[in-house]
Structures are given as C-alpha cells and as structure tokens.
C-alpha cells in the first residue's frame, strides 16, 4: 500500500495512493463536505497526480473522479511544487513579482520615507511568504536585497551609485540606528525555526507526524543528528534547530516566560545586535513627519552628500558651501555655522524659547525638557529644520535659487501651530507654554 497524501483546495485535488477503493472513499468525503458547506469540487480545474500507478488503474481513477491527470512541476498557491530541490530558476517568480511591482508603482517621485514604507509593507511580503516554505539560496536573497536597496535610494530597479548607508546598517532596529527592515537571510532561518519548534513540541500536524515516522523514528529531536543520506532541506532545518537550541528546552521558549515560538522572536535570537544609539527618540517619534525623520536619520549617520563627504570618498569637487559661499560644506557648517542656517534655527529657537545650539543636534536635545508635550514639539521642530535646510541646499545646487529664511521659518512655524492645535488639545504641564506658542 503506497503512501497517501491529500491536498484539497478550491481548484486543486491531489491523491497518490493508487487503488480505486481509496478514490471512492475520498470522493464520498468530498460529496459529504459539499452537502454540509454548499461548496463543490471544480473537476474541470482539478488534477490527479500519480506516482508508480499502473496505466489501467490510472484510467479507472480518472474516469471515476472526472478530473484530468496533472504533471510535475506545477504551481500551488503561487509557489512551485516538484519532487527535487528547487534551483535558482525556480525562484525567478519572486524576483519578477518584486520588479513588476516597482515598475507599476511609478515611484521615482516618492520620498525616501515613502519608498521605505513600500519596501516594508509590499516588497518584503513576497520574500516573507516564500521564506515560510523554502530555504532561499544566497544568490536569490542577495538579488532581492539589491532590488530593495536600489529602490530605496533611487526609486528604480538598478542603481549605479554608492548607497548612502550600508544595507546591513539599514537592517538594524531603529533603536540600533537602522531603519527597522529585516535581514532576509536571518528571517528565512527564523521562519524555518517555526518548523523546528513544531517538531519540538510534537504539534498536531500531518507533516510533523511524517517527519517523526521518516526521520526521527523515536529519537529525541534535540539530540538528533542528520545523516549524509538525508535530503538537503532536512539537513538545513537541523542546522537551524542547532542554532536555536539554546532558546527552547522541554517544550518551552526560554527567556520569554514560556511563550510559544514566533518568527519575530526567532529572528531576534539569530540576528547580530549592535549598541543602541542615543538619538533614536529624537529622530523616530510619533509626532515627526516621516520624510523629516528620514533626513534627520541621514544626518545622524553623517551620510548626507555634502561637498566634504564627496571629497572624502574621492570625488574631485570644490568644497565651498553652496548657500553662503563662505566655508567648507560639512554637516556642522551647513546646519549650524552657515549664516542662512543660523538664521533659520535662531528664529525657530526664539519662537520655542530655547537657546541656539552652537554645534550639533545632540547639543540641542540636551536642552529639551523631559515633559512629553514640550519634547514632542521641539523634536518635530528640530527635524523640520534639518529637512528644510537640506531641501534649500539642494534647491540652491540644482536650481540656483534660495528661499529667504523668514519665508522658510514662517512655513515651519505655521505647520507646527496647526499640528499643535490638532494634536495637543489635552491638559498638560506645558499648557501655558503651548498656548504662548500658538499666540506668537
């Protein structure tokens, strides 16, 4: 009697046993299900797949079932199904879908922050879906990361310039100076860790029972070592199990109060960590406009392409400030010692009632009181000032024109007042200070 496997969906039927009696039982089951649910099997779109079945039995099964014979490989729920290990070409659909999505969005006009949202919520979902079922080759993962990186910095599929920040830094949590994206290779391993967890707790899944019958055969999962004769996929899963071995013991997820394994927890266990940065809450907070936060994030990484930075990486260029023409254009000059920038920051500082910093945003942050509403207002103002100064610098470079500081600050303050009236209506310790801001 051959191994029976059944998979039933709206338009797909698989059974591989090879005797007519079993097919009759399956068909009666589907009929009973149809009476109970009102759903019917679409025989015209359903296939039967055979393995080692005699031709005369094949004919009987096809006639009784009313379905047609299918052939491997085929696609099920958007992924390829075959009896051998997938090759690089089999993963082409995931690459094509990501590239097609980028071409269809027409996203070159989006800000960095807008592209970041699309990468996290749209492009990464294709990889996450495949990662729960397959071990993606390193070349495929590298191509996916390259496409996402190119899209972030240039809005397209290909990008010939050097990225402003390395991808491994971008794939760190925001608290560690990154953008909160996931490392695709580590996420793939964490997704496989879910399967290792199911085996560990002996989950009530047909696949787990098959694994125990075929591979483990009564052996302890945590002590099990695969042999060289086992499949490549199984050996990779055992490697992930060993990497996560210290995190679950005796059916309990360690260090998380016995909670069940999740891919997110597995990812945090497997990824490499970095020291937390001091400016996280200044850049990423609930009140700052996302595109302002992204430019402020670039500032704190010293990744803005000022003339001094371009000279440092080997590009021959004059280092004189585009805006004032007096002094070398580095971050400190552009944002704090340039007369244009100093006037913008001075006007905003006077409106807020805090002193003008002489060097660096962190110095301004030290002056921020710790009351929540006041901190939110000043954080938003700092990030808006950084964004607008950088915007004016690029406008001066590409269009040879510059907006007067009074006009720029009037727009920033008007936006802040509108946001304060809409968002900070509750009573707080800063009520009097907030009222004075709106009256100025």
Residues of the chain with pLDDT under 70: 1-19, 106-108, 247-259, 356-370, 424-428
pLDDT tens per residue across span 178-234: 999 999 999 999 999 889 888 888 888 888 998 998 899 888 888 889 988 888 889
Domain ranges of the chain: 6-71, 187-270, 280-439
* 276 alpha-carbon distance from chain centroid: 20
Q: What is the model's pLDDT at position 64?
A: 79
pTM: 0.82
Q: What is the pLDDT of residue 19?
A: 64
For residue 316, give both structure tokens: 């021959």
* Structure-token pair, residue 369: 């009181």
Q: Give per-residue pLDDT as tens, 46-57.
A: 888 887 778 888
Residue with tokens 């899963």, as numbered in its chain:
237
Nearest to 87 by CA among 122, 42, 135: 135
Give residue 303's pLDDT.
92
172's CB contacts (< 8 A; 6+ apart) are 178, 179, 180, 274
Signed CA dihedral, 85, 89, 90, 92: sign only: positive
Whole-number Å distance between alpha carbons of 282 and 292: 11
Helices marked H in 353-404: 361-366, 372-399
In terms of C-beta density within 10 A (0-12 exposed, 13-18 middle, 19 or more buried), how is residue 331 classed?
Answer: buried
pLDDT at 297: 95
Residue 250 — left, alpha, or beta (φ > 0 → left; ψ -120 to 50 → alpha)?
left
pLDDT of residue 384: 93
- Distance in angstroms (rounded) separating the CA atoms of residues 399 and 44: 63
* pLDDT of the residue at 5: 37
């Amino acid at each position: 009697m051959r191994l029976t496997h059944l998979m039933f969906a709206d338009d797909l039927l698989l059974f591989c046993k090879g005797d007519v009696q079993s097919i009759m039982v399956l068909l009666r089951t589907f009929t009973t299900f149809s009476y109970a649910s009102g759903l019917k099997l679409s025989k015209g779109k359903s296939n039967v797949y055979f393995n080692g079945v005699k031709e005369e039995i094949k004919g009987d099964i096809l006639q009784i079932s009313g379905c047609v014979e299918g052939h491997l490989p085929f696609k099920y729920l958007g992924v390829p199904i075959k009896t051998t290990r997938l090759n690089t070409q089999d993963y082409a659909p995931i690459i094509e879908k990501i590239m097609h999505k980028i071409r269809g969005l027409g996203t070159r006009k989006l800000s960095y922050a807008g592209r970041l949202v699309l990468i996290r919520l749209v492009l990464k979902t294709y990889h996450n879906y495949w990662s729960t079922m397959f071990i993606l080759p390193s070349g495929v993962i590298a191509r996916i990361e390259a496409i996402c990186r190119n899209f972030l910095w240039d809005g397209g599929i290909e990008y010939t310039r050097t990225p402003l920040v390395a991808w491994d830094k971008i794939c760190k949590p925001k608290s560690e100076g990154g953008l909160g994206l996931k490392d695709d290779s580590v996420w793939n391993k964490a997704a496989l860790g879910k399967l290792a967890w199911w085996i560990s707790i002996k989950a009530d899944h047909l696949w787990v029972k098959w694994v125990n019958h075929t591979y483990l055969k009564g052996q302890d999962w945590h002590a099990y070592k695969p042999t060289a004769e086992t499949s490549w996929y199984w050996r990779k899963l055992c490697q992930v199990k060993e990497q996560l071995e210290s995190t679950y013991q005796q059916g309990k997820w360690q260090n998380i109060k016995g909670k069940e394994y999740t891919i997110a927890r597995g990812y945090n266990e497997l990824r490499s960590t970095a020291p937390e940065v001091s400016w996280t809450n200044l850049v990423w907070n609930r009140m700052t406009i996302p595109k302002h936060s992204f430019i402020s994030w670039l500032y704190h990484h010293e990744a803005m392409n000022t003339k001094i930075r371009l000279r440092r990486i080997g590009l021959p260029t004059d280092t004189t400030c585009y805006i004032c023409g007096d002094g070398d254009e580095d971050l400190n000059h552009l944002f704090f010692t340039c007369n244009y920038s100093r006037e913008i920051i001075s006007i905003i500082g006077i409106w807020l009632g805090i002193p003008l910093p002489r060097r660096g945003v962190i110095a301004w942050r030290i002056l921020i009181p710790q009351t929540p509403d006041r901190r939110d207002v000043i954080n938003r103002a700092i990030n808006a000032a950084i964004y607008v100064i950088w915007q004016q610098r690029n406008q001066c470079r590409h269009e040879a024109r510059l907006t007067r500081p009074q006009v720029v600050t009037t727009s920033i303050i008007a936006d802040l007042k509108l946001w304060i009236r809409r968002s900070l209506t509750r009573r707080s310790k800063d009520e009097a200070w907030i009222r004075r801001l709106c009256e100025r």
